[in-house]
Structure 1
Amino acid sequence: MTQSTPIRVAINGYGVIGKRVADAVLVQDDMELAGVADVVADWRVRPLGPKGIALFGATQEHARAMTDAGVTVTGVLDDLLGQADVVVDCTPKRIAAKNVETYRARELRFIVHGGEKHDVTGHSFVAEVSFSSAVGRSATRVVSCNTTSIVRTLTALKTAGLLKRARGTLLRRATDPWESHEGGIMNTLVPEPEIPSHQGPDAQSVDPDLDVVTMAVKVPQTLAHLHYWTVQLTRAATKDEVLDAFRASPRIALIREAEGLTALNTVKELMADLGRPHDSLYEVALWEDMLKVQGDELFYAYMVDNQAIVIPDTIDAIRALAAPAPKAADSIARTNAALGIGRGLV
């Protein structure tokens, strides 16, 4: 593959993450979307035709069902994989781990997401930390939305020489908005039964040196996750020093309650006003005016859009696996420019 040859990307699974990855691939000038594969034949795949995206059935049976439903089908998953340099698996939790056997048999580079265990690929990916160790690998796992946010924010403090240990409480949305008619919770809170919750150890799969403990509770809303963090710094610091550390990260956006961004819904509405595809908040949205420093203790809160935050890292993971001589800083800058990250939210 030469620098001028686009990376051919296949997407297996066109759900919440898959459709956002597809849209992100389409705006990269060094990538080409070979197509997407799925199992459904309803409204979820009908936008593919107008977008000019080739649809493949996961199996012959699924392809026939799509055709019977009046959906144009190009072929089956096996046909799609034959046209790709890398496949991004966006299928539901535990399905991707089964698909891995197919990808390995074809000697095809592949990416799974945070619903799968670290052991599925032996490598966990957040672009700002583990890009270079993904280069030359056949596979990686882009970690979950919450883990991505943890690694981004703690890495910003670590890079500035300020991070000693971190303790976080996560208020987790109950379900994806498009599935809220089928499940979720109402009029209750559901604590995750173990401390630490799984996000802290998962962050350590990206950076084993992080001293981090997380606790989580599921709350009855579907917009986004909300994190509260207490961090012990390596020394006494000023608020400006901490804010400068966060500003240095290309995927952390400082927001202000004073600007009217007082809740999750207002931030999501801002994403719509900015014209972001699917109202996507790719950044960690961290409240600047809420952040407080007392000596060597730091307290802050931020919002995580679980449908969007992993999308730029997925694009970078594609380059890490499949681009010629990829560099982390170059890929991050390229992805950010294509997705409009770093232009400021307010």
Structure 2
Amino acid sequence: MAGHDRKTRVALNGYGVIGKRVADAVACQDDMELVGIADIATDWRLRTAAQKGFKLFASLESSIDAMCKAGFDIAGTLDTLLGGADIVVDCTPKRIGAKNAELYHKRDVKFILQGGEKHEVTGHSFVAEASYAGALGRQSTRVVSCNTTSVVRTLTALKHAGLLHRARGTLLRRATDPWESHKGGIMNTLVPEDEIPSHQGPDAQSVDPELDVVTMAVMVPETLAHLHYWAVQLTRKASKEEVIDAFRSSPRIGLIRMSDGLTAINTVKELMADIGRPRDNLYEVALWEDLVTVQGDEAFYAYMVDNQAIVIPETIDAIRALTGREKNANASIAKTNAALGIGAPFAR
């Protein structure tokens, strides 16, 4: 465990869509130090990391020569990097993290996996507002996927307000990451996920088994963000204001309004660019306040999910939980939010 008289030493394995955002977020925390990044890339993706002064390592020993020939100053292997870290955040592609977990166990280093891995690999799934306490002192946890994070955040807000009975959601999933849209994705079609419930519902229950939630998902031909529509049965008849207040109580739900011109996901991303968020990151669930509708004991609402950014603050909080640096979830959330500017400029 990291001593509280010094910064927590964080290693990063994988500098892709999530990894590069985790690296910047760790660098923003006054109680953490990014000791190095491991990867196997030899192209443009690592040049930015090098320019930022991050120390580079090879995830695989077999990649060292190629990385050096590409002009990178490689400080050693992943095993070397782990030797100087209190915890490693694994942001490698799906299923590779599960294999890497064997090495982390062998080295007895704490580790965080991402939502592409199965819950069973770590035995714990993480969303700060719901399962922080359960991660305290553990060797590992899994920060769940972007969509699952949003499901747990919003339903936990309703649950904490005593309003949640059961929830049914339809997810419009973006087809691929923007930087890879030249390689794949879909065009001129919609692709339903091949099972109901889609995987996000059971995944949310891995964080909070008490949730009565069913999800359905469809892939759509765009790359900006995901869009969710939810129908929730409340525990009682409630007013629209009560439901909105429940969402407002979450520090990671940002209320937006159609009436302000935020009428589509591209306008919200433009807002993130205008306020100077790095990479246009939307860390919050952006929920349309003026779309919230309540009829008796039923609530209906819609929100946007930035799959590249929403899990970043959760990862930072998971670092504090696993290392035991901060025992209180709300304190860690507040610290992370302040460092990343989470909360502004949304309506409160």
* TM-score tier (shorter): over 0.9
| Residues in 2 aligned to 1:225 and 1:324: alpha-carbon distance in whole angstroms | 33
The 5 A counterparts of 1:114-133 are 114-133=115-134
1:167 aligned partner: 168
Helix, strand or coil: the match of 1:187?
coil
**1:314: which partner in 2?**
315
- Contact map agreement 2:256 2:289 (CA 8 A) in 1: yes
What is residue 15 of structure 1 aligned with on the other side? 16
Structure 2 residue aligned with 1:72 = 73
Corresponding residue of 1:258: 259
CA distance in 1, matches of 2:335, 2:284: 15
Q: Trace 1:171-186 onto structure 2 (pairs within 5 A).
A: 171-186=172-187
Which residue identity lines up with residue 232 of structure 1 in the other structure?
Answer: Q
TM-score (normalised: structure 1)? 0.99
For 2:235 and 2:326, how far apart are their aligned partners in 1? 36
Tell me by how many angstroms 1:127 deviates: 0.3
Alignment of 1:208 onto 2:209: yes
Q: Which residue of 2 aligns with 1:89?
A: 90
Deviation at 1:60, TM superposition (A): 2.5
What is the distance in 2 between the residues matched to 1:66 and 1:325? 37
Q: Tell me the SS of whatever aligns to 1:46.
A: helix
Question: Contact conserved, 1:7 with 1:323, CA < 8 A, in 2?
Answer: no
**Which is further off, 68-77 or 105-114?**
68-77
Task: Report % sequence identity.
Answer: 72
Distance 2:325 2:129 in 1: 19
The Cα of 1:325 is off from its aligned counterpart by 5.0
Amino acid at match of 1:314: T
- Closer, same or farther: CA 246–325 of 1 in aligned 2, 3 Å: closer
Deviation at 1:208, TM superposition (A): 0.5
8 A Cα contact 2:320 2:326, kept in partner: no
Query: In the TM superposition, what is the alpha-carbon distance from 1:18 to its structure 2 partner?
Result: 0.2
User: 2: distance between equivalents of 1:185 and 1:26?
Assistant: 36
Q: Whole-Å Cα distance in 2 between the matches of residues 19 and 324 of structure 1?
A: 23
Question: In the aligned structure 2, how far is the partner of 1:55 from the partner of 1:145?
Answer: 27
Number of equivalent positions: 346
The 3-state SS of whatever aligns with 2:137 is: coil
CA distance in 2, matches of 1:331, 1:105: 29
For structure 1, list consecutive stretches of 5 or more residues without a partner in the other structure: none
The CA distance in 2 between the partners of 1:324 and 1:19, in whole Å, is: 23
CA distance in 1, matches of 2:195, 2:86: 40
Offset, 1:61? 2.3
The answer for the alignment partner of 1:244 in structure 2 is: 245
What is the one-letter code of the residue matched to 1:159?
H
Following superposition of structure 1 onto structure 2, how do residues 54-69 of structure 1 map, counting pairs within 5 Å?
54-69=55-70
Report the counterpart of residue 110 of structure 2 in structure 1: 109
Q: 2: CA distance between counterparts of 1:324 and 1:114?
A: 23
Q: Counterpart of 1:281 in structure 2: which amino acid?
A: L
Q: How far apart, in 2, do the equivalents of 1:266 and 1:63 lie?
A: 43
The 5-angstrom pairing of residues 16-55 of structure 1 reads 16-55=17-56
Where structure 2 has 5 or more consecutive residues not aligned to the other structure, the ranges are none
| 1:163/1:233 contact within 8 Å kept | yes
Matches of 2:181 and 2:280 in 1, distance apart? 18
Q: Cα deviation per residue 1:211-254 (whole Å; 9 max; x = unaligned)?
A: 00000000000000000000011111111111100000010000
Aligned amino acid, residue 181 of structure 1: H
Question: Are the equivalent residues in 2 in contact too, given 1:4–1:30 (CA < 8 A)?
Answer: no
